A = this chain, B = another copy of it.
Amino acid sequence: MTGSKRAESADLAVPARGLSRRGLLGLAGASVAGIGMGVAGDRAALAASATPEMASGSAEYPFYGRHQAGIVTPAQDRLHFAAFDVSAGTTRAELIELLQDWTIAAASMSAGRDVGEYGAVSGPYDSPPEDTGEAQGLPTAGLTITFGFGPTLFETADGVDRFGLVRRRPAELTSLPHFPGDDLDVGRSDGDLCIQACSNDPQVAVHAIRNLSRIAFGRAALRWSQLGFGRTSSTSTSQATPRNLFGFKDGTANIKAEEPDVVTAQVWVSAADGPAWLAGGSYLVARRIRMTIETWDRSILSEQEAVFGRTKGAGAPLSGGTEFSEPDFALAGRADQPLIGAAAHVRLAHPAQNNGTKLLRRGYNFVDGNDELGRLEAGLFFISFQRSPAQFAAVQLNLAKHDALNEYIRHVGSALFAVPAGTPEGSYVGAPLFA
């Protein structure tokens, strides 16, 4: 986020209007009419002093477009995810204004610019800076910011249609079913709105969520949030398959951006699916999955491989071949038992066992300190995008009932959001919902 960058892009088309007055109040009353004391030269100098180590991840993805960024975008390395509740008393008009403010700020940060007209380090000295500043001097590092709407946004409260959206609710946007073994913490579940910020630099992702939370002040408040330090899925054939905290490659058979037909069939809501306002969007499922890694670490290698149905090293199916070989679920080994067992994760999650259903997975490893028994509070923050929540529900029901992995995991958080299509320049995220 650099001064020079901002100067270079000054003539690009950006929305003419700035943050709403309410948004500026979120920034604690920053007076746009205050005495500007720009230090742009300063900021250019900052950028020049970044070391090569800090300059990694120069990828940049435009915020505006047909679909929201952060879905088929090659999965970045780090995550900050946040769910918000719209504050009591907030009106429909104020909700719209919040989405407008978020759009302007998200577009700005995605382009490597600060939030606001004056940004972090220049501008009225008698006002709080518009941007919090910790991303100064850092490259954009592939930042994407993806917004979603939770089921509760479309509900009534005390008999009143909260935002006049009850009749616009997608039929499928309800709470996810309760799956066997679910052990959900309500404080880590659900939410009216969500924001997924992904970047190759965690400080850039944190900066995005922090500034968007700040802009929401008085209108929406953080309900829960999650940092992820390591991606567990590839969403592009250009990426190596990463490993989860069980030490296994994860997401080998994930949907890849390079398969546009599969993406269309499995990820994007079509106009025919309805509702019309969600066409070109998707559904986001988030699940906080706690791994009991100490127990896992004591299981023998053959058990671990049997649980996944893949080798731990190369990630090849136990039926043979290499990582990307198609598993042969019929191939039998000793005593005529299939080499990939009936309860193996790869079998149960495979499209062949789920009527051809695939999910676009985009999860992250997390460690949130340790519990009082000294066990690492670790696991997988699972995120998937799909055309219909039913896709996730079908696969998850299959897994929750039969997956050998269940001995080592516990689903402790859950949320579902409708992710609107991308935003055309000059509009705001989710505008068709309010049209």
A198-227 contacts to B, CB under 8 A, are: 200, 202-203, 206, 209-210, 213-214, 217, 221-227
Tell me, rounded to whole Å, the shortest Cβ–Cβ distance linking A163 to chain B: 20
Contact flags A270-292 to B (C-beta < 8 A → 1, else 0): 00000000000000000000000
The A contact surface, by secondary structure, is: loop
Given A133-B312, A368-B368, verify A375-B222 contact (CB < 8 Å): yes
Tell me, rounded to whole Å, the shortest Cβ–Cβ distance linking A341 to chain B: 15
Given A78-B229, A123-B301, A133-B247, verify A43-B313 contact (CB < 8 Å): yes
Report the Cα distance A45→B316, complex, angstroms: 12
Tell me, rounded to whole Å, the shortest Cβ–Cβ distance linking A14 to chain B: 22
Report the Cα distance A106→B372, complex, angstroms: 25
Determine if A240 is an interface residue (Cβ-Cβ < 8 Å).
Answer: yes
A367 engages B80 (CB within 8 Å): yes
Determine if A245 is an interface residue (Cβ-Cβ < 8 Å).
Answer: yes
Report the Cα distance A313→B121, complex, angstroms: 5
A298 engages B28 (CB within 8 Å): yes
Which B residues are in CB contact (< 8 Å) with A230?
134, 202-203, 206
Could you say which of B29, B45, B300 contacts A128, with CB atoms under 8 Å apart? B300
Determine if A376 is an interface residue (Cβ-Cβ < 8 Å).
Answer: yes
A interface residues, Cβ below 8 angstroms from B: 27-29, 39, 42-43, 45-46, 49-51, 53-54, 56-57, 77-78, 80, 82, 120-129, 131-137, 187, 200, 202-203, 206, 209-210, 213-214, 217, 221-227, 229-230, 238-240, 242-248, 293-294, 297-302, 304-305, 311-314, 365, 367-370, 372-376, 378
A49-B240, A134-B230 are known; give 15 further A-B pairs, CB within 8 A.
A39-B314, A51-B239, A51-B240, A54-B240, A121-B312, A125-B301, A126-B302, A128-B297, A133-B243, A133-B248, A134-B245, A213-B376, A221-B373, A221-B374, A224-B369
Could you say which of B51, B78, B222, B302 contacts A125, with CB atoms under 8 Å apart? B302
Could you say which of B27, B49, B51, B369 contacts A368, with CB atoms under 8 Å apart? B369
Give the residue among A51, A136, A227, A374 with the most B Cβ atoms within 10 A: A374
* Nearest 10 pairs of A and B residues by beta carbon: A133-B247, A121-B313, A28-B298, A221-B374, A222-B374, A202-B229, A42-B313, A125-B302, A203-B230, A121-B312
Q: Can you list 15 contacts pairing A with B, beta carbon distance less than 8 Å?
A: A39-B314, A42-B313, A53-B77, A78-B229, A124-B300, A127-B301, A129-B304, A132-B245, A134-B244, A136-B247, A213-B374, A221-B374, A222-B376, A226-B369, A368-B368
